[in-house]
Chain A
Amino acid sequence: DTEVTQTPKHLVMGMTNKKSLKCEQHMGHRAMYWYKQKAKKPPELMFVYSYEKLSINESVPSRFSPECPNSSLLNLHLHALQPEDSALYLCASSRIRGLSEQFFGPGTRLTVL
Chain B
Amino acid sequence: GEDVEQSLFLSVREGDSSVINCTYTDSSSTYLYWYKQEPGAGLQLLTYIFSNMDMKQDQRLTVLLNKKDKHLSLRIADTQTGDSAIYFCAESDPLSGGSNYKLTFGKGTLLTVNP
Contacts and interface: CB of A to CB of B under 8 A. Distances in A.
- Interface secondary structure of B, over-half rule: strand
Contacts of B44: 104
A42 B42 contact: no
A107 interface: yes
B52 interface: no
Interface residues of B, number: 25
Given A42-B108, A48-B100, A94-B101, A101 B33 contact: yes
Q: Indicate the size class of the contact surface on chain A.
A: 20 to 34
Contacts of A12: none
Given A90-B43, A99-B31, A101-B45, A55 B100 contact: yes
A102 B95 CA distance: 14
Nearest 3 interchain pairs by C-beta: A42-B105, A104-B43, A104-B42
